[in-house]
């Protein structure tokens, strides 16, 4: 596998330049496959070696590459070494490429392929807290919450696979005036029966009705203010109604998240940090950081120059705290409770300024760990709607994806042979949603398009699932043929070599995604793998080949299938083995 060759090449470089081999590892990478052209397997970036001080930065880079390439000697592993444009190319022995790359796939732990790479050794491992999804009780679950849910889940999966202890947290919008309105309006518009039957729907209905009522009815508004005050003062009747709303919402969300294979270790929320938020205001005051605005609000200077050119309000004139005050308290509380090494917040980019201010104020309070807090922003989704209209609940999107996928599948004959076509349609539909969302840079806005995302051909989640199912079926049909050993010299066709070369990149792609937290590297890697596998299905048939050839090809297909499944799982997709 990639490790083996990277090590060998690095050792050769180390010997020639009389340096430790480790310094060459970061400068070595597998060459991306282009079409099905013959190409070298690895390249060494001279620029990287110059910037890390391994090579002198003076002199022509081209000359430097050529000189170094000439000094390096071929051997049994590396058969060809040549200087390219600021790089040195290495081509390894073909039989070894096949043997070493496919070696891990016979063992039980083949799912580790890529993860025990030396690229990850330098990464700091520790506790990562990822906060994502975080919808607001009784309000709409919008496209932003869906994005946050799947992106956060991806980041958590990736961090966990790389050996971190991950805490998955949902920070609910479970406090604020909406509960005053909800509490006051429930008596008039609510119904316990409906609340039990369809909690999210009913809470949302009540919320909409109370808001309409409060617009023209001052009594209702007053009742809402009263209810919220009772809540803040912990009056038991108000608190128990609030608690019921919250519990019922969490239960319901847990059920729906399960359909997405998403789970949380902790359901926290804004309500948890009410009192602590007041303490934060006091801390700011005692450190002399709290200023008063003209309207009497409590503000903090967040400008870099310290000239109040940018400020952030932490307290209203009436003494109540704000969203950011609760976030300040929440961050400190999490540090205390979980002692995380890093914390990642996933929300849409409109909150970028909020998080900048949050980190700024934390630092001002002396919390240097704020430097290890990060906001992962993402763009807006336009036009996410279902046949019945605008999306209000997460479940609507999942149902629509399932229905549409089921409809598409009903045209294929294999659907009739499935035990549970609904379940398959669900998993494939969700993978379509995820791939559409993850294909580009997270920061970009995009247009939601059911028809395009559900196409079986082209770069979609359906294509990933289809390829996986087809590989599984090939492996199933040939169960007796696979063997512990195989002859690597039977996999030297270019169609097979490019798949192996592509697999060599898997650890690098994971590494890249772990650095910038963008899923697009992994998605595009997997899509490319599926295209290469499609050619292999045509050109390297198993059926009708001699036993030896069939065995070798099956090993190649199993390797591709394992990596595909492993990558899909990190993205948050459950691979199906029939479709």
CB 432, min distance to ligand ARG, A: 25
| Conformational region of residue 256, where left means phi above 0, alpha means psi within -120 to 50, and beta covers everything else | alpha
State the CB neighbour count (10 A cutoff) for residue 434.
Answer: 24
3-state SS class at 569: helix
Retrieve residue 531's tokens.
Answer: 């295209």
User: How distant, in Å, are the alpha carbons of 25, 116, 512 from that of 120?
Assistant: 11, 7, 11
Q: Could you give the CA distance from residue 108 to residue 294 in angstroms, rounded to a whole number? A: 68
CB 324, min distance to ligand ARG, A: 8
Binding track over 454-473 against ligand ARG, x by CB under 6 A: --------------------
CB 144, min distance to ligand ARG, A: 7
Applying CB under 6 A, which part among 129-137, 178-186, 290-298, 475-483 lies near ligand ARG? Answer: 129-137
3-state SS class at 377: strand
DSSP E strand stretches across 234-341: 266-269, 290-292, 298-301, 311-315
Nearest-CA neighbor of 164 among 130, 131, 129, 125? 125
Which of the residues 21 through 60 are near ligand ARG (CB under 6 A)?
none
CB 442, min distance to ligand ARG, A: 16
CB 561, min distance to ligand ARG, A: 38
142 as an active site residue: the answer is yes
Which of the residues 130 through 189 are near ligand ARG (CB under 6 A)?
131, 134, 136, 171, 173
Among residues 8, 12, 142, 427, the one annotated as catalytic is 142
Which residue's CB is nearer to ligand ARG, number 91 or number 334? 334
Dihedral of the alpha carbons of 40, 499, 456, 569, in degrees to the nearest 10: -110
User: How distant, in Å, are the alpha carbons of 271, 275, 321 from that of 225?
Assistant: 17, 19, 15
Retrieve residue 357's tokens.
Answer: 């201010």
Q: How many residues bind ligand ARG (CB under 6 A)?
A: 8
The CA angle 299-304-307, to the nearest 5 degrees, is 60
Which of the residues 396 through 425 are near ligand ARG (CB under 6 A)?
none
Taking the CA of residue 563 as centre, how many other CA atoms within 13 Å lie in the half-sphere pointing to its CB? 32
Which residue's CB is nearer to ligand ARG, number 173 or number 572? 173
Which residue's CB is nearer to ligand ARG, number 174 or number 507? 174
Which residue's CB is nearer to ligand ARG, number 347 or number 551? 347
Retrieve residue 396's tokens.
Answer: 């609507």
Which residue's CB is nearer to ligand ARG, number 112 or number 367? 367
| Conformational region of residue 487, where left means phi above 0, alpha means psi within -120 to 50, and beta covers everything else | beta
Ordered strands of the 298-301 beta sheet: 290-292, 298-301, 311-315
Applying CB under 6 A, which part among 128-136, 241-249, 290-298, 560-568 lies near ligand ARG? Answer: 128-136
202 as an active site residue: the answer is no
Distance of CA 454 to the CA centre of its chain: 21
Nearest-CA neighbor of 329 among 265, 269, 239, 246? 269
Retrieve residue 288's tokens.
Answer: 């002399």
Which of the residues 56 through 95 are near ligand ARG (CB under 6 A)?
none
Which residue's CB is nearer to ligand ARG, number 136 or number 460? 136
CB 511, min distance to ligand ARG, A: 28
CB 145, min distance to ligand ARG, A: 6
Which of the residues 332 through 371 are near ligand ARG (CB under 6 A)?
345, 347
Element (H, E) at 463: helix 461-477
Among residues 112, 139, 291, 528, the one annotated as catalytic is 139
Retrieve residue 467's tokens.
Answer: 């390829």
Q: Could you give the CA distance from residue 457 to residue 527 in angstroms, rounded to a whole number? A: 11
- For residue 438, state whether it binds ligand ARG (rule: CB under 6 A): no
Q: Which of 41, 213, 252, 327 binds ligand ARG (CB under 6 A)?
A: 327
CB 377, min distance to ligand ARG, A: 11
Which of the residues 207 through 246 are near ligand ARG (CB under 6 A)?
none
Which residue's CB is nearer to ligand ARG, number 228 or number 557? 228
CB 354, min distance to ligand ARG, A: 7
Dihedral of alpha carbons 368, 371, 373, 378, sign: positive
Among residues 8, 12, 43, 145, the one annotated as catalytic is 145
Which residue's CB is nearer to ligand ARG, number 347 or number 460? 347
Q: Could you give the CA distance from residue 565 to residue 577 in angstroms, rounded to a whole number? A: 10
Which residue's CB is nearer to ligand ARG, number 248 or number 483? 248
Which residue's CB is nearer to ligand ARG, number 204 or number 345? 345
Q: Could you give the CA distance from residue 239 to residue 53 in angstroms, rounded to a whole number? A: 63
Q: Could you give the CA distance from residue 244 to residue 255 in angstroms, rounded to a whole number? A: 17
CB 345, min distance to ligand ARG, A: 5
Instruction: Indicate which residues carry an active-site annotation.
Output: 139, 142, 145
- Residues forming contacts to ligand ARG in the complex (CB under 6 A) are 131, 134, 136, 171, 173, 327, 345, 347
């Amino acid at each position: 596998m990639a490790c083996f060759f990277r090590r060998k090449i690095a050792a050769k470089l180390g010997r020639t330049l009389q340096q430790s081999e480790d310094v060459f590892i970061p400068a070595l990478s597998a060459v991306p496959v282009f079409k099905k052209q013959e190409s070298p397997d690895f390249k060494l970036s001279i620029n990287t070696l110059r910037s890390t001080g391994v090579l002198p930065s003076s002199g022509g880079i081209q000359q430097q590459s050529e000189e170094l390439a000439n000094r390096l000697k071929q051997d049994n592993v590396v058969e060809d070494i040549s200087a390219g444009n600021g790089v040195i190319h290495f081509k390894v022995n073909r039989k070894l490429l096949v043997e070493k790359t496919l070696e891990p796939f016979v063992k039980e732990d083949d799912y580790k392929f890529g993860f025990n790479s030396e690229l990850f050794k330098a990464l700091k491992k520790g506790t990562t807290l990822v906060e994502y999804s975080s919808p607001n009780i009784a309000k709409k679950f919008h496209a932003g919450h869906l994005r946050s849910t799947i992106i956060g889940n991806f980041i958590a999966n990736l961090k966990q696979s790389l050996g971190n202890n991950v805490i998955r947290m949902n920070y609910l919008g479970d406090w604020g005036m909406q509960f005053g309105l909800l509490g006051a309006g429930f008596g008039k518009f609510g119904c316990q029966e409906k609340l039990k039957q369809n909690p999210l729907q009913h809470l949302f209905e009540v919320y909409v009705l109370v808001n309409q009522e409060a617009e023209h009815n001052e009594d209702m508004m007053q009742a809402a203010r009263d209810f919220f005050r009772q809540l803040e003062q912990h009056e038991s009747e108000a608190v128990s109604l609030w608690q019921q709303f919250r519990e019922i919402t969490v239960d319901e969300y847990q059920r729906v998240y399960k359909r997405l294979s998403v789970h949380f270790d902790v359901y926290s929320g804004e309500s948890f940090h009410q009192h602590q938020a007041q303490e934060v205001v006091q801390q700011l005051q005692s450190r002399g950081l709290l200023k008063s605005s003209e309207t009497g609000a409590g503000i903090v200077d967040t400008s870099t120059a310290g000239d109040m050119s940018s400020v952030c309000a932490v307290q209203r004139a009436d003494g109540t705290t704000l969203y950011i005050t609760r976030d300040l308290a929440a961050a400190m509380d999490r540090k205390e409770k979980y002692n995380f090494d890093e914390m990642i917040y996933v929300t849409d980019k409109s909150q970028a300024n909020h998080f900048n201010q949050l980190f700024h104020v934390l630092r001002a309070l002396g919390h240097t760990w704020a430097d290890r807090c990060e906001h992962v922003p993402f763009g807006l989704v336009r036009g996410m709607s279902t046949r019945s209209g605008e999306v209000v609940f997460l479940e609507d999107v999942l149902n629509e994806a399932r229905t549409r996928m089921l409809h598409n599948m009903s045209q294929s004959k294999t659907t009739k042979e499935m035990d549970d076509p609904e379940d398959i349609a669900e998993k494939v539909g969700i993978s379509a949603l995820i791939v559409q969302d993850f294909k580009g840079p997270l920061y970009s806005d995009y247009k939601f398009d059911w028809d395009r995302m559900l196409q079986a051909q082209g770069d979609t989640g359906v294509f990933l699932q289809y390829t996986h199912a087809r590989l599984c079926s090939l492996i199933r049909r040939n169960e007796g043929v696979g063997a512990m050993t195989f002859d690597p010299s039977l996999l030297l066709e270019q169609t097979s070599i490019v798949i192996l070369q592509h697999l060599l990149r898997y650890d690098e792609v994971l590494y890249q995604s772990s650095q910038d937290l963008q899923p697009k590297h992994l998605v595009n890697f997997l899509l490319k793998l599926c295209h290469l596998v499609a050619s292999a299905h045509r050109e390297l048939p198993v059926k009708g080949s001699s036993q030896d050839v069939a065995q070798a090809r099956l090993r190649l297909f199993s390797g591709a299938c394992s990596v595909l499944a492993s990558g899909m799982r990190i993205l948050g997709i459950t691979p199906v083995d029939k479709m």
